[in-house]
Structure 1
Amino acid sequence: MNITVVGSINLDLVATAPSLPAAGETVTGATLARHPGGKGANQALAAEKLGAEVDLIGRVGNDAMADEALALMEEFGVDLSKVEVDVAAPTGVALIAVDPHGENQIVVAAGANHLVTPEQLPARIECPLIVQLELPLETVEAAVGRAVGFVCANLAPAQPVSEAMLRRCDLIVVNEIEAEFYGDALHRGGGRVVVTQGARGAEMYHRGVKTAWATPPEVVAIDATGAGDAFVGAIVVAMLDGMEPKEALEFACAAGALAATRAGAQPSLPTRDEVEALLAR
């Protein structure tokens, strides 16, 4: 199974604190960690660890942060030959605060991610494609338009996209807040729409009709960062593997649940054996 991901690459700076700050509040007593991240990179590594052969199209800066941001993908075999180095812009950085229950707040400085242009894309994208919305929208829509096969769009962070893009996607993945932002427009195409609901699981729709749903296995969550990206990588792998909708949702929910049991985005991503073991428990 070959998958192309067009998406963001970041270095995550994660502060684990006793509580998340309210507006204007300072919270002390945190511990700091650095992890590779970015929705595109996370989803690429998630799919790779679940059994796909993945190539990533993206951009990093000419700095030491790029080495950290790419390290785990290099270790697990994601093809990074189409990741370009920008000499002017820095590698993207996400500033993440996490509380003891795994809830988080995230602020992203996009850096080189915002300089990924349609010119960096191939004329045709032959493999199944995964995109998100952390790159310039023009580039994301160009990638979808050049894809000749299966397309999954994780419409996060939510922003207006074209009707043509929504209709082209075979699979759209959003959380509840994003689903509310897009409303009925999500369901006008012929593809599947999955709405994730955190610890309550996920639902799949086809033309506005709910066709399947699943809840994740019980786990002790410590950091939800990356759980949604684990879900996206897993649901794409499951659907390309030919799983039925409910089975695919269960597989993806288990992957997301496992990711929430570990700190960091990419370090938390599970292998296929781990997901299958959790489902069999």
Structure 2
Amino acid sequence: MSSRESRVSRENTDDELRIVLLGKTGVGKSATGNTILGRDAFKAEVSFESVTKESQRESCEISGRRVTVIDNPGLFDTELSNKEIQREIRHCISMILPGPHVFLLLIPLGRFTKHEEASVEIIQETFGEKSLMYTMVLFTRGDDLKNRTIEQCLEKPGSPLMKLIEACGNKFHVFNNNQTEDRTQVTDLLQKIDNMLKTNGGSFYSCKMFREMEREKQEQQIKIIMDRLREREELINKHEEEKERMKMMMEEERQNQDKERKRREEELKREIREQEKHLREIRDEMRQERE
């Protein structure tokens, strides 16, 4: 047992460390799980087609400490529907009760895509904002570093990659899954996780947090539905009001037309009476002349 392994063991005597691997198919999740456990527990991905179809749990002892790793299917992949993803995430959380200490977000060195850029948003939507307190970026393909350090390979401040790391509390580590015999990278990872646990007051991402997040999402969905119903009701009311207004306008127009028609009828009658009077006057004059 190395001095580093002994230190990690002393600080966490009899504690179980619970780890959930997150990432897209092809980033080396299964290989990373095998490196942590020190054995071929997970079937490693040999292509970009997902090997893991459902969450898998494996455990081992590292320096007298129980470490449990969950490898889950495509939370970041597109072949699963939202309903299937939510069902699998609930299953994943239930497999690692009372809850994971850390989410390891796996990103291959040199392959930071738009999808990886959206990782934080995906994690927040799936586990809630608090989950970022328990999230660490784990770069795979550490052999690509050659003789450089990870700090030398990171992008400039303000870049999408650095924003992702900052969102995760500047917590990151590097793995070379081609050197599984190098246990230093594992004990270094465990030490960083322990430092994160101290920062978080020894807490973990609990099922209660997940249930609260789900309840908030349900309440938000209900609010969206209620807002849509209210908007629809307002639209219907507005339409009814418009119909009533048009009806009143048509009624007013009809009344005005009736008034105009009556006015013209009265005017015509008056003209007729005047004409009849004038005609009588002419007849009277003619009769007087004859007499």
Asked if TM exceeds 0.5, the reply is no
Taking structure 2 as the reference length, what is the TM-score of the superposition?
0.30
Taking structure 1 as the reference length, what is the TM-score of the superposition?
0.30
Bigger relative contact order, structure 1 or 2 (CA pairs below 8 A, ≥6 apart): 1
* Structure (1 or 2) with the greater helix fraction: 2
* Structure (1 or 2) with the greater strand fraction: 1
- Please tell me whether Structure 1 or Structure 2 has the larger radius of gyration of its CA atoms: 2
